Structure 1
Amino acid sequence: VGVPKGLGELGVREEDLSRLASFALLDACMSTNPREATQEQMVALFRGAL
């Protein structure tokens, strides 16, 4: 069906992960997340999605 298999297929690179993590932590949705996340955890999450 043409769905990308990971963020890498969308052009995301390793050097983009820290910036993406920062944006994710600032997102309004994080205020309702039952668990707090650190910058490092978010980078690891995005790295796993590459």
Structure 2
Amino acid sequence: MGDNRTASLDSRVFGPVNESDIVGRAWVRVWPFARFTFFQRQTYNIELAP
């Protein structure tokens, strides 16, 4: 939720995001700081993707 909760349009309005609509890749974890980590790059074969 943002700093303007009464006017924010987020999952409370639109519902959850479909997993198929998520595009991206995590490359670093910064919180909690004690677990700060750079993730190794993964390679994927697009032909095998569901």
TM-score tier by shorter-chain length is under 0.3
Which is helix-richer, 1 or 2?
A: 1
- What TM-score comes out, normalization by structure 1 length? 0.25
With the length of structure 2 as denominator, give the TM-score of the two structures.
0.25
Q: Which has the higher contact order (CA 8 A, sep 6+)?
A: 1
Q: Give the structure with the larger strand fraction.
A: 2
Which one has the largest radius of gyration?
2
